[in-house]
Amino acid sequence: MKNFEAPMKYELPDEATLAKYMHLLQTVLLAARGSTDPQVADLACAVHNLPDLLLRWRDMDEASQHGALRRFETLHPQWAGHFTKILEAGAPPDWQLKWKKQEG
């Protein structure tokens, strides 16, 4: 008999904390965008606006985001479908990391 866990529920922090971490993610992506590794820079360029747009969903254009990732996958064919598939199929039920609290 398999032990199935219920799917994780989304629980967001307060608005200020969420904004702080989304800004951190955007800043990291912008730093990676300037990488000397063309693949890292191109991928960061394709997604660096996501943290801001996820906080302003009404301004989000999902077709443009899909197009940016599709251009990346065309430019770097070894990644073909890797990222656009997530937007098309959605996240699998077990995509989130499950952190265990340290004992002691």
Tokens of 6: 């219920």
Long-range CB pairs of 19-23 (<8 Å, 24+ gap) are 19/55, 22/51, 22/52, 22/54, 22/55, 23/51
Number of domains the chain is built from = 1
Distance of CA 2 to CAs 24, 33, 48, 94, Å? Answer: 39, 43, 39, 15
The answer as to whether 34 is a domain residue is: yes
The answer as to whether 51 is a domain residue is: yes
Q: What pLDDT, on the 0 to 100 scale, is given for residue 104?
A: 65
User: Does residue 99 have a pLDDT over 90?
Assistant: no
The answer as to whether 98 is a domain residue is: no
Amino acid identity of residue 41, one-letter, is A
Q: What pLDDT, on the 0 to 100 scale, is given for residue 40?
A: 94
Q: What pLDDT, on the 0 to 100 scale, is given for residue 7?
A: 64
The answer as to whether 33 is a domain residue is: yes
Q: How confident is the model at residue 74 (pLDDT cuts 50, 70, 90)?
A: very high
Q: What pLDDT, on the 0 to 100 scale, is given for residue 1?
A: 45
Domain boundaries, position 82 = 15-89
